[in-house]
Amino acid sequence: MSGPLVIVGGGPAALSAARGYREAGGSGEVVMLCAEDLPPYRRPPLTKEYLRGEMGREGLPLEDEGWYRENGVRLLLSTRAAALDPARRTVRVAGGEEIPYESCVLATGAEPAQLSVPGADDPGIALMRRVPDADRLRGRTSPGSRVAVVGSGFIGCEAAASLALRGRRVTVVSMEELPQARRLGEEVGRRILSWLEGYGVEVLPGREVEEISRRSGGPYALRTGEGEEIPADAVLFGAGIQPSSGLAEEAGLRTEGGRIVTDSSMRASAPGVLAAGDVALAYNEAAGRPLAVEHWGDALEQGRIAGAAAAGRQVRWDSVPGFWSTIGEKTLKYWAWGDGWDALAFEEGDDGSFVARYGREGALVGVLAHGRDEVYEEASDRIRAGAPFPG
């Protein structure tokens, strides 16, 4: 009989770790500590179908309640881990109870990044990470409401398009000249910009918000470095995320750049401790280096590997990271190592489809496709094989 597996987290990596453990034959008790009051659920719809009111809460759970009973997973909701003791192999929860483990998977995810400008701590400003965030944003706006989205990352762009489709007057304020240009290149950034503008979103590029003010619970005013003042009935921050690695750092685990360093089996620097998902900096065998990824599918894969490793299986992470992003009705599909490129080849079709291929030191390291599924479907294998750029 295996010893207890304690999983800290309530996202895709956490649930996948429980699945992976049982599927690999793990027979010990499984305890999952979820800080939220909801079982693990799908987060991508929060900026899309759920935000637009096309999906209710019933469509979000990753598993129904019966799955946890049938698989012997004790799900503790509204339970936050307060301390990890690798020497004693215990996790202490906020109420003081200590839970022993043989293996512990840290799948603590990440939190939305906060702006460090005056007024950014206003409790009415929306973040987008959990169901209540989407609920509050939906509840605070109505057709014709002005919404300011700060940041042009995927969360910001997806939410902006969804809000515009629901009749909100949306302004995106971004330090980038083009959305996602630093990550994906100017050609892709121009297409994303045209999509947003086509949905009626106003994009203010190259602006930095310096102050946010609000009077007596009324509208907000965002002041930029150029002296502009942008009025808004609601504000959403979409300025990236920060890994939630505090538990690991306080326990003395090795971290780098705010993430928990692991090998390709998701094992961290302390015996019996593993990490998966946004909080992990995991070694990828095919890439030959550690990678930080913030993608839903990779959180599922890393969680599966962590669970299988906890059950005693020999497993390793060697797949190419990837994600889909849907901005309104436009979908981007992406495979890439994700840690930089030095060359880009852009190919556009007559029907508005396009492919961007990314190279580094002569090798193909990424492919992004819109409307070119045949290219996307073969790209992962080519990247993994180190095909020559542009491939």
SS (H, E, C) 340-371: CCCEEEEEECCCCCEEEEEEECCEEEEEEEEC
Least Cα distance to 2 among 29, 38, 20, 22 occurs for: 29
Give me 280's structure tokens: 């992990």
Choosing from 237, 256, 276, the residue where a domain stops is 237
Based on the fold, state whether residues 226 and 254 are members of the same structural domain.
no
CA distance between the termini of the chain = 50
Full DSSP string of 118-131: TTTT-TTSB--SSH
CB 252 within 8 A of CB 234: no
Cα 304 to chain centroid distance, Å, stands at: 17
Residues 20 and 54 reside in one and the same domain: yes
Give a yes or no: residue 325 inside a domain.
Answer: no
Residue 176 counted as domain residue: yes
* CA 52/CA 291 separation, integer angstroms: 33
- For residues 105 and 10, state if they share a domain: yes
Task: Please tell me what DSSP assigns to residue 339.
Answer: S
Contact 197, 187 (CB under 8 A): no
Q: Per-residue confidence of the chain (391 residues) as pLDDT tens digits? A: 467 999 999 999 999 999 999 999 999 999 999 999 999 999 999 999 999 999 999 999 999 999 999 999 999 999 999 999 999 999 999 989 999 999 999 999 999 888 889 999 998 899 998 999 999 999 889 999 999 999 999 999 999 999 999 999 999 999 999 999 999 999 999 999 999 999 999 999 999 999 999 977 779 999 999 889 999 999 999 878 899 999 999 999 999 999 999 999 999 999 999 999 999 999 999 999 999 999 999 999 999 999 999 999 999 999 999 999 999 999 999 999 999 999 999 999 999 999 999 999 999 999 999 999 999 999 999 999 999 999 7
Count up the domains in the chain and report the number: 3
- What sign has the CA pseudo-torsion 277, 283, 284, 289? positive
Q: φ and ψ at 372, to 5 degrees?
A: -130, 65
Question: Model-level pTM?
Answer: 0.94
Residues in contact with 111: Cβ distance below 8 Å, sequence separation at least 6, in sequence order: 129, 241, 242, 244
Q: Does residue 300 share a domain with residue 286?
A: yes
CATH number at 92 reads 3.50.50.60
Strands 103-106 and 5-8: parallel
20 and 165: one domain?
Answer: no
Kindly state the tokens that stand for 18: 């429980």
Instruction: Give the number of C-alpha atoms closer than 13 A to the C-alpha of residue 19, restricted to the C-beta side.
Output: 17
Query: Does residue 22 form part of some domain?
Result: yes
Residues in CB range of 288: below 8 A, 6 or more apart: none
Instruction: Say yes or no: 251 and 287 in one domain.
Output: yes
Rounded CA-CA distance 8/204 in Å is 40
Helix axis angle, 296-310 relative to 12-23, nearest 10°?
A: 40
Helices (H), 24-142: 65-70, 131-140
pLDDT digits (tens, 9 = 90+) for 52-72: 999 999 999 999 999 999 999
The token duo for 175 is: 């330090």
Contact yes or no for 313/341 (Cβ under 8 A)? no
- The residue segments making up the domain with residue 344 are 340-384
Q: Which of 157, 193, 132, 195 is nearest to 47 (CA)?
A: 157
389 falls within a domain:
no
Whether residue 222 sits in one domain with residue 75: no
Is the previous residue joined to 390 through a cis bond, with omega within 30 degrees of 0? yes
Pick the last residue of a domain from 310, 330, 354.
310
The C-alpha atoms of residue 273 and residue 254 are separated, in whole angstroms, by 11
